[in-house]
């Protein structure tokens, strides 16, 4: 059976490696079958974890290997056999696992949901003969940092650029720790902070530790997990030159990663004016050459359509489209995911999702806090560029798109961009602008700037499904309460024989479907029913699904959701370049018209409902805003 060495070599860079040593046929079959079974079970487990999250992980941890689902019980046996064979001392051959060397490309890894060893590029096998009595070189300190990890698994390095800023400290690092604690990040993950402040690793750890907490419903071993996470966190001083700084970042990451294959994620929590300098320096000096690279870019995505196009072209000159993730944290809410789930997985709704049954759609987003007003909104970006361009238009696109071919990110993005390209040119008469009145005593602040903090508009989608259906959007800061919902109002029942039972207000008999994220997560369906008792009196009631009553879990932060999508390569909630351009084609003309005509926004008080003209706008299009603020 000496010929067994050749078949082992033919596997090339597959997801497992068999030691090329002579042995019984039974052992060979055990290794092959066991490895195949382990791969299948690993894929199944990954999909289950992605769907059911940390609850399944904790259950598996409690059960142990012998009770794991499928055929995971062969994992430990297969790994032990492979390790033993690879460590034979006398006359053994060492098979170094191939590294996935492709700078900047998205490629398959063992963490993918779909893997096929037949499509992995095969490389020649390099054999190193160790003389009798000698052993393979011991791994270095960096490469052995993560004990117990198979060398076939690429490590993951996540770099937060702008690590000492408010966004990184209050949102990004807490989200990364929540994912790590819940078991959604690989055990061999490393976190790197990059900024211009002169601090050390311990300085960064102390800075972010105050914001790292465990969930109330998921609090076991919190201190231990926190300590482990902080030990995996490192700091790199960017200095005054990003080219040199990125080289230092790359060197530090390579030191921690060792000689293994490594995937890298870069979160660019930097101001828009610094974006290109950071991104291009990163592309030249800090990308992994032995795994995939992905960059995350924060909104707003440009100040005008022209400036956004220039930024996009600069990014695409160094990165591929599939590497770029334009993040909007508002799209990570369960409300957004429920749009497609509710529509495409329930037969009762999909036939009604068109102009024949839907009278209007309202997309409402408001915040009572005004903490961001002075910086972002009075800083000339305003609510149109920051909220409407990304969150509102993406919500409309997901709501109104045609059924995608699959749930793959590119298929969903293909349908979204069709909706954005079908949105009719917005008329200035169908726009209401508002600005939060400044009560700080600096009366000249809002008189010198006409940047809106409130925007309401009526939009139409010119296609066969939505022709004539108004999409009313209303979003603002410093309003009465936090509110995020999508309200679908259906048409009246033709020839309704119960019409007289509703009195004079015909709108009372309108069926509504409400998807709400704030003030509390809920799905509500407004229906008409008879009031109990004698006589025939009708009333409108809500069939409600309140998440707090149905699901006894804490809702993850939207940053956790989106960061996990980046790790998994799921890009359907991130804007592609053509989506970005299509959104600017919708808003750029109206922004230009507002600037040219110097349209003054209507002032409103903090804690108010917003400009009164928004109600006249809704009435003009036959819509009544819901006053449940």
Task: Extract the tokens encoding 94.
Answer: 């060492």
For residues 109 and 102, what is the distance between their CA atoms, to the nearest angstrom? 12
**CA of residue 315 relative to chain centroid, distance:** 20
Catalytic residue among 391, 504, 561, 572: 391
Q: Edge-to-edge strands of the sheet including 512-518? A: 538-546, 522-530, 512-518, 483-490, 358-367, 471-477, 454-459, 431-436, 602-604
329 is catalytic: no
pLDDT 10s digits, 382-430: 899 989 999 999 999 999 999 999 999 999 999 999 999 999 999 999 9
Mean pLDDT confidence for 117-137 = 39
Read off the pLDDT of each residue in 307-332 and give the average, rounded to a whole number: 95
Q: Evaluate whether 265 touches 567 at the Cβ level (below 8 Å).
A: yes
The continuous run of DSSP H or E covering 80 comes out as: helix 75-86
H or E segment and range at residue 338:
helix 334-344
The Cα–Cα gap between 14 and 82 comes to 14
List, for residues 431-471, the tens digit of each pLDDT value.
999 998 876 555 445 445 788 999 999 999 999 999 999 99
Condensed to tens digits (0 to 9), the pLDDT of residues 113-124 reads 433 433 334 344
> What are 604-625's pLDDT values in tens digits?
988 888 899 999 999 999 888 8
How far apart CA 305 and CA 583 sit, in angstroms, is: 9
CA distance 108 to 542: 47
DSSP assignments along 181-250, one per residue: HTT-S-TTEEEEEEESS---HHHHHHHHHTT----TTS-TTHHHHHHHHHHTEEEEE-TT-HHHHHHHHH
Residue 562 has pLDDT above 90, yes or no: yes
Q: Rounded to the nearest 5°, which phi and psi values hold at 298?
A: -85, 150
Tell me if 513 sits within 8 A of 543, measured CB to CB: no
Pair of tokens at residue 377: 């909104």
282 with 157: CB under 8 angstroms?
no
CA–CA separation, 553 and 544 (whole Å): 18
Dist. CA 424–CA 589, nearest whole Å: 11
What is the pairing mode between strands 262-268 and 293-298?
A: parallel
């Amino acid at each position: 059976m000496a010929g067994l060495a050749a078949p082992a070599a033919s596997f090339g860079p597959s997801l497992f490696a068999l030691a090329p040593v002579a042995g019984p046929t039974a052992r060979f079959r055990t290794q092959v079958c066991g490895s195949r079974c382990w791969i299948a079970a690993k894929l199944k487990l990954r999909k289950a974890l992605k769907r059911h999250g940390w609850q399944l992980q904790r259950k598996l941890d409690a059960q142990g290997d012998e009770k794991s689902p499928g055929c995971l019980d062969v994992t430990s046996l297969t790994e032990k056999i492979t390790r033993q064979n690879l460590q034979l001392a006398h006359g053994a051959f060492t098979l170094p696992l191939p590294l996935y060397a492709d700078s900047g490309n998205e490629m398959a890894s063992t963490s993918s949901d779909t893997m096929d060893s037949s499509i992995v590029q095969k490389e020649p096998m390099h054999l190193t003969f160790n003389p009798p009595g000698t052993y393979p070189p011991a791994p270095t300190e960096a490469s052995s940092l993560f004990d117990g990890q198979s060398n076939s698994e690429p490590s993951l390095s996540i770099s937060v650029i702008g690590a000492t800023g408010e966004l990184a400290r209050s949102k990004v690092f807490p989200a990364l720790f929540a994912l790590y604690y819940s078991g959604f990040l690989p055990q061999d993950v490393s976190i790197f902070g990059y900024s211009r402040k002169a601090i050390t690793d311990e300085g960064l750890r102390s800075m972010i530790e105050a914001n790292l907490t465990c969930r109330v419903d998921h609090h076991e071993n919190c201190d231990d997990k926190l300590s482990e996470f902080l030990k995996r966190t490192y700091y790199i001083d960017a200095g005054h030159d990003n080219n040199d700084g990125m080289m230092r970042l790359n060197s530090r990451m390579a030191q921690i990663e060792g000689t293994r294959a490594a995937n890298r994620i870069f979160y660019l929590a930097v101001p828009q004016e610094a974006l290109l300098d950071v991104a291009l320096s990163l592309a030249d000096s800090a990308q992994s050459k032995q795994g995939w690279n992905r960059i995350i870019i924060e909104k707003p995505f440009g100040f005008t359509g022209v400036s956004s196009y220039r930024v996009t072209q600069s990014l695409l000159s160094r990165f591929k489209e599939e590497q770029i993730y334009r993040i909007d944290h508002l799209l990570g809410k369960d409300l957004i995911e429920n749009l497609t789930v509710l529509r495409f997985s329930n037969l009762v709704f999909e036939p009604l999702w068109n102009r024949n049954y839907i009278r209007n759609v309202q997309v409402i987003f408001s915040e009572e806090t005004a903490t961001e007003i002075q910086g972002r909104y009075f800083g000339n970006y305003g609510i149109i560029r920051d909220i409407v361009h990304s969150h509102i238009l993406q919500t409309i696109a997901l709501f109104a798109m045609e059924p995608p071919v699959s749930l793959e990110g590119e298929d969903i993005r293909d349908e979204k961009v069709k909706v954005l390209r079908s949105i009719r040119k917005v008329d200035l008469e169908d726009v209401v602008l508002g600005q939060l009145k400044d009560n700080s005593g600096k009366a000249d602040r809002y008189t010198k700037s006409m940047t809106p903090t409130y925007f309401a508009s009526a939009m139409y989608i010119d296609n066969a499904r939505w022709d004539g259906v108004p999409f009313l959007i209303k979003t603002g800061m410093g309003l009465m309460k936090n509110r995020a919902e999508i309200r679908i109002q259906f048409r009246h029942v033709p020839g309704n024989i119960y019409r007289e039972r509703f009195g004079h207000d015909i709108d009372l008999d309108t069926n509504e479907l409400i998807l709400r994220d704030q003030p509390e997560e809920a799905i509500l369906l407004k229906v008409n029913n008879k009031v109990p008792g004698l006589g025939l009196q009708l009333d409108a009631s809500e069939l409600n699904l309140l998440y707090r009553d149905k699901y006894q879990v804490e809702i993850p932060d939207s940053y956790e959701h989106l960061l996990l999508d980046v790790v998994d390569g799921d890009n359907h909630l991130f804007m592609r370049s053509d989506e970005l351009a299509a959104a600017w084609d919708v808003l750029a003309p109206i922004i230009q018209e507002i600037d040219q005509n110097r349209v003054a926004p209507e002032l409103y008080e903090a804690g108010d409902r917003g400009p009164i003209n928004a109600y006249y706008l809704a009435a003009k299009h036959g819509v009544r805003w819901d006053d449940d603020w």
